[in-house]
Structure 1
Amino acid sequence: MFGFHYRLERSAIGLVAFIVLVASIGGLIEIAPLFTIDETVEKAEDMRVYTPLEVAGRNIYIREGCYACHSQMIRTLRDEVDRYGPYSLAVESSYDHPQLWGSKRTGPDLARLGNKYSDDWHVTHLNNPRDLVPQSVMPAYRWLLRDQLRTDDLGDHLRALRAVGVPYSDDQIANATRDAYGQANPDSPEASGVAERYGADTNIRAFDGNQGPLTDMDALVAYLQVLGNLTQVAHTTQQAEVE
């Protein structure tokens, strides 16, 4: 084996050809599964897209680096399923660009966090985690309640997501700014349009506790409250497996 390697190193053309061959095999192994992606990714008829406010919250989640300490992928291990809920399915991340599965957990997995805690709990936790969990090492994000959310560019964000495959309609893109405001202001005329465009089960409420101008807290809490709730396919699929 070593003799072959030494001889190969003496031939520049042979070494290059061997590198190309090995790289091609590795590339084929990585690329081949993509040809069967339609067969391997589950179908979810009830899957909905993120609302503009949830998209803004996801952007804040990425901006603040939350993904570095919290994963969004429950593995099939028994202890994870018992603690967090049904294991994650590929289809649940089909509208995530980029995906936020994560690689480590300083804090708990958030894949099924949606509506597990109240909005008030999230606001308090983000404002100062130690008010709820004294031993927490999570930093406080007090500025989220102070900073006003930018909404005038949300249509562009939805348009960019549509370019990579998320099925936003022209109507959803055109009303992105109005829908963001309406989702966090349930008593406003804009609120009805959110339910019409994104479904009656969409969370529509004052996420930061105050109706009126949107804050970054509104957006981030709206995003956290929908995690694991874009589709119920994981719950129904795994319940069928048990039965």
Structure 2
Amino acid sequence: MPEAHRKLERNAIGFVLAIIVVSSIGGLVEIAPLYTIDETVESDPNMRVYTPLELAGRNIYIREGCYACHSQMIRTLRDEVERYGPYSLAVESKYDHPMLWGSKRTGPDLARVGGKYSDFWHVAHLINPRDVVAGSVMPAYPWLARNPLKISDLGDHLAALRKVGVPYTDDMIANASADAFGQASPDASQSSGVTERYGNDTTVSAFDGVPDRVTEMDAVVAYLQVLGKLTKAAETEGPAGQGG
């Protein structure tokens, strides 16, 4: 075998062809399953898209590098399911651009953090994590409560996502700024439009506790509160709703 290997290395054309063959096998293994993606990826016709406020919060979450310490992917292992809930399904990230599954866990997985804590808890946690989790190593993000959220260009964000397959309607795009304000201002006239466009289960709340303004804190908390709640597909997937 060593002699055959030496001959192959000395034959430049043969060596290149051997590399191509081996690489093709690896590529085939990775690419072929994609042709059956319709059979392997779950579907949920009732899954809703992110509201403009939630999408803005997701953008801030990415901007601040939160994905570097928190994954959004619950594996099928028993201890993962017992700690975090039903394992993650591909359909749950259908409208995520980019997806944030990740693997790094300096902090806990956030795939199903939506509704686990109150808005007040999230605000306190983001302003100073040690106030609610004594041993936390998470950085503080107090400026989120001070920074007003830029909502004037949210329609453009929705329009861009529609180009890559997210089913935002013309009505959603046209009312993006108003819906962002309305979702964080329960008493405002714009709040009713949010549930009309995104569904009655959409949370309308003064997320940061101050209803007459929209801050980056409103957006981030709105995003965290919807994680794992865009679809109920995971609740019915597999035995006992969690694959085991």
Q: TM-score range by the shorter chain?
A: over 0.9
Q: CA deviation at 1:45?
A: 2.6
Q: Normalised by the size of structure 2, how large is the TM-score?
A: 0.96
Q: CA deviation at 1:30?
A: 1.1
Paired letter, 1:12: A
Q: CA deviation at 1:24?
A: 1.6
Cα deviations by residue, 1:62-114 (Å, 9 ceiling, x for unpaired): 11111111111111111111111111111111111111111111111111100
Query: What is residue 70 of structure 2 aligned with on the other side?
Result: 70
CA distance in 1, matches of 2:241, 2:232: 13
CA distance in 1, matches of 2:43, 2:224: 23
Paired letter, 1:121: W
1:118 aligns with 2:145: no
Query: What is residue 211 of structure 1 aligned with on the other side?
Result: 211
1:89 aligns with 2:89: yes
Query: What is residue 234 of structure 2 aligned with on the other side?
Result: 234
Equivalent runs, 1:126-141 vs 2, <5 Å: 126-141=126-141
1:170 aligns with 2:176: no
Q: CA deviation at 1:213?
A: 2.1
Q: CA deviation at 1:183?
A: 0.5
Decide whether the 8 Å contact of 2:86 with 2:241 is kept in 1. Answer: no
Query: What is residue 79 of structure 2 aligned with on the other side?
Result: 79
Query: What is residue 50 of structure 2 aligned with on the other side?
Result: 50
Gaps of 5+ in 2: none
Q: How has the CA–CA distance of structure 1 residues 242 and 102 changed in structure 2, closer, same or farther, with 3 Å as cutoff?
A: closer
Gaps of 5+ in 1: none
CA distance in 2, matches of 1:151, 1:33: 40
Decide whether the 8 Å contact of 2:234 with 2:242 is kept in 1. Answer: no
Give the number of equivalent residue pairs.
243
Cα deviations by residue, 1:163-187 (Å, 9 ceiling, x for unpaired): 1111111111111111111100111
Decide whether the 8 Å contact of 2:186 with 2:204 is kept in 1. Answer: yes
CA distance in 1, matches of 2:228, 2:82: 16
Q: CA deviation at 1:42?
A: 0.9
Q: CA deviation at 1:2?
A: 2.5
Q: CA deviation at 1:240?
A: 5.2
Cα deviations by residue, 1:117-176 (Å, 9 ceiling, x for unpaired): 000000000000000111100000010001111111111111111111111111111111
Query: What is residue 222 of structure 1 aligned with on the other side?
Result: 222
CA distance in 1, matches of 2:146, 2:57: 15
1:10 aligns with 2:10: yes
Query: What is residue 153 of structure 2 aligned with on the other side?
Result: 153
Q: How has the CA–CA distance of structure 1 residues 20 and 75 changed in structure 2, closer, same or farther, with 3 Å as cutoff?
A: same
Cα deviations by residue, 1:2-52 (Å, 9 ceiling, x for unpaired): 322211221221122222222222111111111101000112132100001
Q: Normalised by the size of structure 1, how large is the TM-score?
A: 0.96
Q: CA RMSD in A?
A: 1.4
Q: CA deviation at 1:206?
A: 0.6
Aligned-pair identity in percent equals: 70
Q: CA deviation at 1:219?
A: 0.3
